[in-house]
């Protein structure tokens, strides 16, 4: 699994003519599920997202997690994170998990984050979406459960 995690002051996503998720301060998480991802990959991503210390404490240092900062998460499925653009100019998406498998792990990711007490809003799996966010910092972190970067 791969995730792009951005600290935001607010974010929302529109799909199928309506807003499906909206948060104030927190994290925008773009999640890509790859072939062969397991519960261990999911737990790695959930743990990292929930515990990343990217929010400022009283001294202005990034020492607080999204939970400690009282933030929320907007979780968006994004199969293009599994894209490989090393050869040529057109990305290869062969590493992306099949839709049924990806949907299951995406929904389970949202559930596991909620189980940690984090408010989670979502996009609409498989739909064309417009994602809007006001970056805070900016702070952007890349996560890969296979630790490729």
pLDDT digits (tens, 9 = 90+) for 32-84: 999 999 999 999 999 999 999 999 999 999 999 999 999 999 999 999 999 99
Q: CATH number of the domain at 18, please.
A: 3.50.80.10
Cα 65 from chain centre: 15
Q: Which domain holds residue 116?
A: 2-144
Could you tell me if residue 84 is inside a domain?
yes
- Contact at 8 Å (CB) between 23 and 66? no
110, containing H or E segment: helix 99-115
Q: Is residue 87 part of a domain?
A: yes
User: Crossing angle of helices 39-51/99-115, nearest 10°?
Assistant: 40
pTM summary value: 0.96
What is the total count of domains within the chain? 1
Active site members: 78-80
Is 149 within a domain? no
**Domain presence at residue 96:** yes
Contact between 136 and 28 under an 8 Å Cβ cutoff? The reply is no
Residue 27 tokens read as 């994290």
């Amino acid at each position: 699994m791969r995730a792009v995690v951005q600290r935001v002051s607010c974010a929302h996503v529109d799909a199928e003519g309506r807003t499906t998720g909206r948060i104030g301060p927190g994290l925008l998480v773009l999640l890509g599920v790859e072939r062969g991802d397991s519960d261990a990959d999911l737990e790695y991503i959930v743990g990292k997202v929930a515990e990343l210390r990217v929010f400022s404490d009283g001294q202005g240092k990034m020492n607080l997690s999204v939970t400690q900062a009282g933030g929320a998460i907007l979780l968006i499925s994004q199969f293009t994170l599994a894209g490989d653009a090393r050869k040529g100019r057109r990305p290869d998406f062969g590493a992306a998990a099949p839709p049924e498998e990806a949907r299951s792990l995406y929904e389970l990711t949202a559930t596991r984050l909620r189980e940690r007490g984090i408010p989670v809003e979502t996009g609409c799996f498989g739909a064309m979406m417009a994602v809007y966010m006001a970056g805070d910092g900016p702070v952007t972190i890349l996560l890969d459960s296979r630790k490729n970067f």
